[in-house]
Amino acid sequence: MQTLLIVSNLPSPNTKKLVDAVVKGAKHQDVDSINVRFLEPLEACADDVLDSQAVIIGTTENFGYMSGQIKDFFERIYYPCLEKTQGLPYALFVKGGQDGTGARNSVEKIITGLRWRQVQETLIMKGEFQQQWLNLCEEFGLYMSAGLEANIF
């Protein structure tokens, strides 16, 4: 069975809601042949990435950069994965306060080095919390698991 790995930090109730929605979408009842795994960044290691066929990264923007936990995750997996995961389908969602572009750019720079393949536009959510983000996050997760199941990546 193919695995979709979702790795995101969860520093607040709002981010927890967004991540739960991504996971819920990825586990949609219409997609029954994909193993969806959620891990917080500090729990995730290179083997988790190596055992996955697609990855969703979620991060808050902190100090104009990705969260420290996601940076730590990339620092630990980068070299063990570098030669083995080129072309891995991935997507990124960012929760910012007022921005989010710094987090996106910092992740995308690392992804360029890893040569993973972005298969969905980066989703940036910023400003006051919006209920409609939950639908966007569900669709975001569903797209990844359904796409993996349908072999469109």
Residues of this chain that interact with ligand FMN (CB under 6 A) are 11-12, 14-15, 60-64, 95-100, 102, 126, 129
Taking the least distance from each CB to ligand FMN, the nearer of 80 and 102 is 102
Q: Which residue number places its CB atom closest to ligand FMN?
A: 97
H or E element: which one contains 74? Answer: helix 68-82
Taking the least distance from each CB to ligand FMN, the nearer of 116 and 133 is 133
d(CA 153, CA 68): 29
Q: What are 4's strand-pairing partners?
A: 36, 54
Least separation in angstroms between residue 36's CB and ligand FMN is 23
Taking the least distance from each CB to ligand FMN, the nearer of 8 and 15 is 15
**Burial profile 64-101: b = 16 or more Cβ within 10 angstroms, e = fewer:** eebbbbbbebbebbeeebeeebeebbbbbbbbbeeebe
Taking the least distance from each CB to ligand FMN, the nearer of 81 and 125 is 125
Least separation in angstroms between residue 7's CB and ligand FMN is 16
Least separation in angstroms between residue 64's CB and ligand FMN is 4
Which whole-number Å values give the CA distances from 57 to 23, 29, 30, in the listed order?
Answer: 12, 22, 23
Q: Using CB atoms within 10 A of its CB, is residue 54 exposed (0-12), middle (13-18) or buried (19+)? A: buried
Least separation in angstroms between residue 16's CB and ligand FMN is 8
Least separation in angstroms between residue 138's CB and ligand FMN is 18
Taking the least distance from each CB to ligand FMN, the nearer of 129 and 153 is 129
d(CA 107, CA 56): 12
